[in-house]
Chain A
C-alpha cells in the first residue's frame, strides 16, 4: 500500500467550531508532515513528526494542534479558526526525516473553508 489517505475531503466550519483532520499511511514511514497550501501558492510546512514525536513546529498558531497517536496516524485538531485559515491542508509521509530517505508521499488533501 503506497497511499496516504486524508479525511474529510472537504470541511466547512464556523469560527467557534472544533474539528479534526485525519491522515493515515501504511507504508511503515516514520516521518509525517502537515502542510498548508493557499490558492496558487506552494505548500508551506506546518509540522513534522519523526517517530511519533513532534520534530518541527513552524511557528504555527495554537489554534492548530497536531497529534500523532501512532506511527500510521496523524491528526490536526482545529479550534477557533479564522477565515484566513481557509486552505488546502496536505498530509505527507516519508521513510524518515533523514535526507537520504525523505522523499515524501502526499495525500489528496482536505479543502477547508472557515466561515
Chain B
C-alpha cells in the first residue's frame, strides 16, 4: 500500500497568503520529493530533499524534513491563483527501489 499521508486533504486560501502542507510516511527513506498536479494532467516535479537534509528552498517553496518524526512540510509563500493544484509528496523507500505517493493536498488559491 502507499505509505504517505498528507494533511490537510484540502486547503483554500486567498491570493498572497502562505500555504502549508504536511506529509507523513512510514518507512525509512532515501529522499522525499514534492510534485504538483493540475487537474487531470501529468505531475510536475517541484523539489527533492535528501534524508540527510533538513530544509531546502526553491523560489517561493520551502520544504522541511524531519526523519525522526517521518514527516515533511511544503510551504508556498505569497501564493498565486496559478498555484491552484493538487500537491503530492513522494518517498523513495530505502532498500526497496520503490516510489510511493502520499494521498495529496488539494490547494485552491482564490484571486
Contacts and interface: CB of A to CB of B under 8 A. Distances in A.
A111 B48 contact: no
A48 interface: yes
B97 A109 contact: no
Interface residues of A, number: 25
Interface residues of B, number: 25
- Main secondary structure, interface of B, reads strand
Contact of B45 (A48, A58, A99, A104): A104
A33 interface: yes
Interface string A73-115: 0000000000000001010100001010011111111010000
B24 to A, nearest CB: 14
Contacts of B103: 41-42
A48 B100 CA distance: 12
A43 interface: yes
A111 B43 CA distance: 14
Contacts of B45: 103-106
A17 interface: no
Contacts of B44: 106
Contacts of A88: 40
Nearest to B9: A40
A42 B31 contact: no
Interface of A: 4, 33, 41-45, 48, 55-56, 58, 88, 90, 92, 97, 99, 102-109, 111
Interface of B: 2, 4, 30-31, 33, 35, 40-45, 48, 50, 88, 90, 92, 97-104
